[in-house]
Each structure stands twice: as C-alpha cells, then as structure tokens.
Structure 1
Amino acid sequence: MKDQSKLLAAILVGAAAGAVLGLLFAPGSGEETRGNLAGYADDLAGKAKDGARSVSDQIKNYGNDMYERAKSKFGNAADDLYNYRDGVSDEIRSRGNDIADQAQDHIERAKSKVKSAANDVNDSIQEA
C-alpha cells in the first residue's frame, strides 16, 4: 500500500512538472494554451480521482480481508478452547468412573471378608 501511494505521488508530481514545461515551451496562443491547460487539468483531476478511488477500494478490501481473517482465527481459537474443555471434562469423568469402580471393588472385597469372618464366627459358635 505504501509503494502505491508513492507511485501515485510521483505520477502527480511528474504531471505537474510536465504542465509547467508545457507552458514554458507552448507554441500556441494564450487562449489556446489556457484551453489545453483546462483540458489537461480536467484529465489530471480525473486520473487523480480514479487513482484515489482505486487506493480507497484496495484499502477497504484489505481492511475487510484482515477483519475476516481475525474473525476466523478467533472462531478457530474458541473452537479449540471448547474442544479442549470437552476433552478435559471427558478425562475427569473417565477418571471419576475408574475411582468409583475401584471403590466398588474394595467394598465388594470388604463385604466378602466380613461375610467370611461372620461365617467363621458362626461356624465356631456352632462347633462349640
């Protein structure tokens, strides 16, 4: 973008220098030269407007492109964050289920030991 504005400025300066030189070496009459200058000025103004419009459109397109890129990257980052959160939640849930299963195993073994001990005590009482 910076190079394009430098180029546009160089073109405008060159055109102005050409106009001054044209006036100095003009072979026509004053009225004819003024008419030529008016036409040249109109052409130059039209070219400047077209150049400014082109640069403005390029800046607008560049801004829109940057906005869309930022929006996309933000959306992707948010998606990544949600996916990470879901993965962590799943991991915690899985570990909680593993702990619950281990606790249930310990409870079943403890019940079995208590039942075995109760049976042993009952057998001892009956034998006595």
Structure 2
Amino acid sequence: MSNRPEFQGELFEKGLQIRREVLGDAYVNRSVAAADDMTAPLQKLITEWCWGEVWGRPQLDRRTRSFLNLAMLAALNRPNEMRIHLRGALNNGVTREEIREVVLQVAIYCGAPAALDAQKAVVEVFKEIDAEE
C-alpha cells in the first residue's frame, strides 16, 4: 500500500474498503501506489468523499449506485471511468443485459453519440472479461 500520511484516517479506510469491494484490489492498489505529490490529494478526496461518504451511505444499495454511475458516466461521455465502473457494476450484481438497457436508456434521453461511446466501452470491457475467464 502507501505510506503517505494523507492516506490515513477512518473515512479514508472506510472509502478504501468500499472502493476495493466494488472495483477490485488490483485497480485500487495501482491507483494508490501511483499517487505522487500531484495526484495524492485527489486520490484522498475521491477515496474519502466519493467512496467513504457517498458510497458508504445506506440509503441506496451498491447495485443501485452502479446503475446510476453507468447512466451518468455514459451521459457525460466519460468512457475511461465507464470502463472502470462497468467492472464495478458487474461486481455489484448488475447483469450484462441490464447494462445493455442502461445504454438504450441513455440513447433515448442523452443522444446517440453518448450511447455509442458507452456501448463501445461496454463491448471492450466485456471482451476483456471474457478473455480473462
């Protein structure tokens, strides 16, 4: 892990645990290990507030949060984050068929370009996962 002093504290640890459970140890280990003086503050912020505070709230389950993330990332045309959260959504119990439906919903409400870029990310991630099996 990291010996960075800013990567300590109860909220950071809570966020790190949730982040690992959703995105997997390998991804989180790479992100934290790669942190330097420029990127560590953002890693800390995301781990504590995104993962520890928001993802840690009990009012929505992780599956629902994953659905929301996929739709928002597709709508915002953020394919890099979409790829990461596709794996997380599958880890949280969202099925491939449900992911397809999210992309269709995005096509209607956000437009074809957003849905096409999201679909490209979906296909790439599914191929990667299938090759790993």
Instruction: Please give the TM-score of this superposition, normalised by the length of structure 2.
Output: 0.27
Return the structure number with greater helix share.
Answer: 1
Q: Which of 1 and 2 has higher RCO (CA within 8 Å, sep 6+)?
A: 1
User: Could you say which structure has the larger radius of gyration?
Assistant: 1
